[in-house]
Chains A and B, each alone.
Chain A
Amino acid sequence: MQYLLMIYDDEQNWLNMDESQQGKLIERYIALEEDLKAKGQYVGGARLTEVENATSVRIREGDTLITDGPFAETKEQLGGYFLVECDNLDQATEIAARIPSAEIGTIEVRPLWYQSAAE
């Protein structure tokens, strides 16, 4: 089973940190990634640029509409993700709870489309 762990956090939190705090946070992320890789659970992951760089695209009545900004304006923005391989939801939520941003933001855990659970 693959789960996408979406990291939602207020971008201001990052901007309000000093350099050493930012450095420590990045170290924690790297450590988590290394651990997941060692356990064979890491499929992918990335950090996104600030939401101000987001562009939304939608097609309505044949017209392509391109707008500046994210799909939804919220206090917490999607800042990055991990794609992980797990046996079940409990394992996935366990990893989600180890993502540093879970301490201030929220991690949304979603299984990828159409996979049969380990039977």
Chain B
Amino acid sequence: MHQKSQPLEQLYREHSGKMLAYLVSLTNNLSLAEEIWHDTLEAALPLWQSGPPANPIAWLYRVARNKTIDRMRHQKMSLQKGRLVQALAIQDEQEVEPDWDELQFGDEQLKLIFACCHPALDIDKQIPLTLSTICGLNSLQIADALVLQKSTLEQRLTRAKRKLKTAAIPFIIPQQDQLQERLAAVLKTIYLVFNAADQPDNDLDSDHIDLSTEALRLTKNLRNLLPEQPEISGLQALMLFHLARRKARYNSEGQLILLEHQDRTLWDQKAITKADDILRQALSSRKPGSYQIQAAIQGVHCLSKTSEETDWLHIEGLYYLLMEYDANPVIKLNAAVATSMSRDIESALRQIEVCERIPQLQKYSLLYGAKADMYFRLHRFDMAKANYETARSLSNKAVEQEFYSRKIAELESQG
């Protein structure tokens, strides 16, 4: 079997989420589950040196299960726990070996995902916890990907696990009446993970964890676990549309290139087709939502052969539809940009004025970037320059600052 050649590290990445889900279902305790999983790997290291066992996955699960039994026997046991240990031990004696390769622990995985993305945990805790527990990344990889000190990251993980345990955040699949709200929280976390990855491609050496790939893998997994939720497919399509354009998003110097100037031959047509298929299937269930509509907007961009062919009226309409599902004020700004492309710039600027009065947008650099671009197109270069300068001072992303500086320099050279 192909697993024979898999190194332990790869097995760890692939099975960590599943294994922890399984162990949490036995122990109801994430920290304990992690300890057992790490003990299991430690036991595997010396034994596997001369070659892994015939079925490495079955080996790992069996050893982890036995270690769980040992741990529980040593602890003062509640009646419930005692029964569990008995059941596990009987399973062991009878040598009823489940086919570990086939077991997905779907419900257990879902429970763990919902716990890691529980709204009682701050998003700063949710993201590292999800990456560590569900995606099987180690602290160094997560700290690197989130541009955090390893010690800061580890502190957040410790605090997250402590709150999970102390506040008794449950490992359960939310009931039907709460499922939509809780699923929205999970999808939001995954999308933030995805967006944390936005950076020039050449930064991605082989050791670097690509968060966008992790987010995509997580979404695909979630979609298998909850097939009846079209918003998951919507998010998957949205991320695929974004990823399809990634190569064109930065030039060889790592500089940001706007959509209208991108070399569309660099777009990954296979990914676009796939995203389009997934989105169509999701939309056919007639339960629209924020991610499906966002994906539809990106789909219009991706399927336009040239920038000039973009159907901006369609995009503008989709943004107005999106406002009904999503209260994020950035959508108002995007709608204004669409208006400036589809109809007229003057009315778009009036919409921008309204946006400027929204507190969350007052210090939003992209608002001033959009405004600057509109003034530029109206040939009001002084206003364009002033707004690019505001945008640059408000942005905290190096690639954006560099982009605005280029624009300002262009305007200055024109006099």
B81 touches A119 (CB 8 A): yes
Residues of A within 8 A of B165 (CB): 117
Residues of B within 8 A of A1 (CB): 168
Task: Report the separation of the CA atoms of residues A87 and B27 in the bound assembly, to the nearest whole angstrom.
Answer: 15
- The tally of CB-CB contacts under 8 A between chains A and B is 35
Give the interface segment out of A7-15, A29-37, A88-96.
A88-96
Nearest-neighbor residue (CB-CB) of B165 within chain A: A117
Nearest-neighbor residue (CB-CB) of B175 within chain A: A90
Task: Report the separation of the CA atoms of residues A87 and B171 in the bound assembly, to the nearest whole angstrom.
Answer: 11
B29 interface hit (Cβ, 8 Å)? yes
The interface bits of chain A over 87-119 (1 if a CB of B lies within 8 angstroms of the residue's CB, else 0) are 111100100000000000000010100000111
Looking at chain B's contact residues, the main secondary structure is loop
Task: Report the separation of the CA atoms of residues A109 and B170 in the bound assembly, to the nearest whole angstrom.
Answer: 15
The interface bits of chain B over 71-106 (1 if a CB of A lies within 8 angstroms of the residue's CB, else 0) are 000000010110000000000000000000000000
Residues of B within 8 A of A87 (CB): 168, 170
Residues of B within 8 A of A109 (CB): 167
Task: Report the separation of the CA atoms of residues A90 and B167 in the bound assembly, to the nearest whole angstrom.
Answer: 10
A89 touches B120 (CB 8 A): yes
B169 interface hit (Cβ, 8 Å)? yes
B49 → A minimal CB distance (Å): 36
B172 interface hit (Cβ, 8 Å)? yes
B28 touches A119 (CB 8 A): yes
A89 touches B170 (CB 8 A): yes
Q: Looking at the complex, which one of B29, B81, B120 makes contact with A93 (CB distance below 8 Å)?
A: B120
A93 → B minimal CB distance (Å): 7
A89 touches B28 (CB 8 A): no
A17 → B minimal CB distance (Å): 30
Given A87-B168, A90-B174, A117-B168, output 6 extra A-B contacts at Cβ < 8 Å: A86-B168, A88-B170, A89-B120, A89-B168, A111-B166, A118-B168
Residues of A within 8 A of B170 (CB): 87-90
Q: A-side interface residues toward B, CB under 8 Å?
A: 1, 86-90, 93, 109, 111, 117-119
Residues of A within 8 A of B120 (CB): 89, 93
Q: B-side interface residues toward A, CB under 8 Å?
A: 27-29, 78, 80-81, 118, 120, 165-170, 172, 174
Question: With A117-B28, A119-B28 as given contacts, are A89 and B81 in contact (CB-CB < 8 Å)?
Answer: no
5 A-B pairs with CB atoms under 8 Å apart are A89-B120, A90-B172, A90-B174, A93-B120, A118-B168
A88 touches B81 (CB 8 A): no
Task: Report the separation of the CA atoms of residues A88 and B118 in the bound assembly, to the nearest whole angstrom.
Answer: 13
A119 touches B168 (CB 8 A): no
B29 touches A88 (CB 8 A): no
Task: Report the separation of the CA atoms of residues A93 and B172 in the bound assembly, to the nearest whole angstrom.
Answer: 15
B354 → A minimal CB distance (Å): 29
Question: With A93-B120, A111-B167 as given contacts, are A118 and B172 in contact (CB-CB < 8 Å)?
Answer: no
Residues of A within 8 A of B167 (CB): 89, 109, 111
A89 touches B29 (CB 8 A): no
Residues of A within 8 A of B81 (CB): 119
A88 touches B168 (CB 8 A): yes
Which residue among B165, B167, B168, B170 has the maximum number of chain A CB atoms within 10 Å of its CB?
B168
Q: Please provide the 8 A-B residue pairs with the shortest distance between their CB atoms, ordered closest to farther.
A: A88-B170, A117-B168, A88-B168, A89-B167, A89-B169, A1-B168, A111-B167, A119-B28
Task: Report the separation of the CA atoms of residues A109 and B168 in the bound assembly, to the nearest whole angstrom.
Answer: 12
Residues of A within 8 A of B118 (CB): 89
Question: With A117-B28, A119-B27 as given contacts, are A88 and B78 in contact (CB-CB < 8 Å)?
Answer: no
B269 → A minimal CB distance (Å): 45
Nearest-neighbor residue (CB-CB) of A91 within chain B: B170
Task: Report the separation of the CA atoms of residues A52 and B72 in the bound assembly, to the nearest whole angstrom.
Answer: 52
A41 → B minimal CB distance (Å): 14
Which residue among A1, A89, A118 has the maximum number of chain B CB atoms within 10 Å of its CB?
A89
Question: With A89-B167, A93-B120, A111-B166 as given contacts, are A119 and B29 in contact (CB-CB < 8 Å)?
Answer: yes
Task: Report the separation of the CA atoms of residues A87 and B167 in the bound assembly, to the nearest whole angstrom.
Answer: 10
Which residue among A86, A87, A119 has the maximum number of chain B CB atoms within 10 Å of its CB?
A119
Residues of A within 8 A of B80 (CB): 119
Task: Report the separation of the CA atoms of residues A24 and B118 in the bound assembly, to the nearest whole angstrom.
Answer: 34
Task: Report the separation of the CA atoms of residues A53 and B10 in the bound assembly, to the nearest whole angstrom.
Answer: 63
Which residue among B78, B120, B169, B170 has the maximum number of chain A CB atoms within 10 Å of its CB?
B170
Nearest-neighbor residue (CB-CB) of A116 within chain B: B165
